[in-house]
Amino acid sequence: MLIQCTRKLLDEMKTTPDTFDNEEPIFSWHANMIRVNGRKTVVLMNDSNRYVIVLYGLKASDFKRLDDIIIQAIRETLQEEHIRDEVIAHYIGHAKEVTYTKTKDRSAVAKLNWACDSVFFYQNLIQNGAIIQSDMSTRISRLRVGGVSNNRILPNQTLYQDLESLVGQPIFGCKAAVLKVTMDLERHSVWRRIAVPVNSRFSRLHRVLQAAFGWRDYHLHEFYIYGSEKHDNREYINHPGYHREGYRLRVCVVDSEEAFDYGEDVPMVHEADAMLSDYIPAPMKYTYDFGDNWQHYIEVESVIGDYDKNYPVCLAGEGNAPPEDVGGEYGYAEFLAIMADKKHPEHDQMAAWAASQGYKDFNIEQVNRAIRYNY
């Protein structure tokens, strides 16, 4: 494994660069050190496919064991891509020991600088307390890069091609849960059936649901996980975690560190630390926008043993989700009435507003494009 370092990174490592530079591009990476939120951050970019891996919050002791951290980061990030364990083992085993040299040329450094700029753009995805930022890495590596349009590439797709050529077999394989996600609406049927890899973090499941229902991630959200037992105590009906079937609340999965300051009466976990596989087949609920209070009940219908994709797929669905900031279910009913009456004095204004919110009829092909892009 060849790591071609900027002078800044070499100085931080307090190491003399090796002269060896004869390595296949798929096993070669360029690396730089930047500061994000005042924390030392190492950005690696693969020479063959421009895939990016981010290490955050490194301390002096971490630079002394950077070899091990880089290998583990590659392993965890490829696992986040749902690549088969044997493919990951083949890549890491073939790469052998880590060697550090100087950067190759100005062109490679320019590409690396673009990757570093992308880290600043996606810093809201940083998982505090973790060195290996696999979620951020996968998101940055889905950005199209290159020169003119016909030469631009998607690093993640190019990585997949490189790995398939390396091992000569399909590289994806995981379990997937088939989820039926139904909005809790009195007068309308709005639901989606989605196959999701079970080793997906809830932070990624959130992005899937945003894409599936046409939301724009303007507001806070949280997940509730339930046990199989039920209770008859109706005093919980006004609790935000209340389940309409009476299941007892087990865990609240939250989207921000600030949520832990409110001292909820149920255990809480951050969505970046929780995997879907930790809880399925438990009943779940997803609440988006605590003002309009859109609640989505999640039922695990089945589990696919050998899912051959590394992204979720919407299998079926019905109905249009309400537009953002429509005013809850009452506001949605008023919105639909105005939209249905072309003679209503507010119809044209409401239609223009709806278009600005991205409100449109459910289209499964468009939904799947949005899911794959945002996952």
pLDDT number for residue 148? 64
Same domain? For 316 and 217 the reply is yes
Instruction: Say if CB 266 and CB 243 are below 8 A apart.
Output: no
Q: Looking at the domain assignment, is residue 249 inside a domain?
A: yes
Measured between alpha carbons, how far is 156 from 373 in angstroms, rounded to an integer? 11
H helix or E strand, kind and range, residue 353 = helix 347-356
Same domain? For 84 and 195 the reply is no
Measured between alpha carbons, how far is 28 from 48 in angstroms, rounded to an integer? 8
pLDDT number for residue 257? 81
Same domain? For 14 and 149 the reply is yes
Q: Looking at the domain assignment, is residue 350 inside a domain?
A: no
Q: What is the mean pLDDT of residues 209-213?
A: 97
Same domain? For 87 and 142 the reply is yes
H helix or E strand, kind and range, residue 72 = helix 66-80
Q: Looking at the domain assignment, is residue 282 inside a domain?
A: yes
Instruction: Say which range, 35-44, 81-90, 95-104, 128-137, has the weakest mean pLDDT.
Output: 95-104
Report DSSP state, residue 228. E
Give the amino acid at 298: I
Percent of the chain with pLDDT strictly greater than 90: 85
Spell out a b/e string for 191-223, using b for 16 or more CB atoms within 10 Å of the CB, else e. bbbbbbbbbbbbbbbbbbbbbbbbbeeebebbb
Q: Residue 234: pLDDT above 70? A: no
Q: Would you place residue 230 in the very low, low, confident or very high pLDDT band (cuts 50, 70, 90)?
A: confident
Q: Taking the alpha carbons of 49, 82, 270, 295 in that order, is the dihedral positive or negative?
A: positive
Instruction: Say if CB 16 and CB 95 are below 8 A apart.
Output: no
Which of 167, 185, 201 terminates a domain? The answer is: 167
Residue 332's nearest CA partner among 196, 187, 226 is 187
pLDDT number for residue 149? 65
Kindly write down the DSSP assignment for every residue of 34-65, as one continuous string. Answer: EEETTEEEEEEEETTT--EEEEES--HHHHTT
Q: Looking at the domain assignment, is residue 225 inside a domain?
A: yes
Q: Residue 237: pLDDT above 90? A: no
Q: Residue 21: pLDDT above 90? A: no
CA dihedral 164, 126, 195, 269 (to 10 degrees): 140
Q: What is the mean pLDDT of residues 157-173?
A: 96
Residue 201's nearest CA partner among 268, 284, 276, 134 is 276
Same domain? For 67 and 154 the reply is yes
Please calculate the CA angle 356-358-363 and round it to the nearest 5 degrees. Answer: 155
Q: Residue 119: pLDDT above 60? A: yes
315 by Cβ neighbours in 10 Å (0-12 / 13-18 / 19+) ranks as: middle
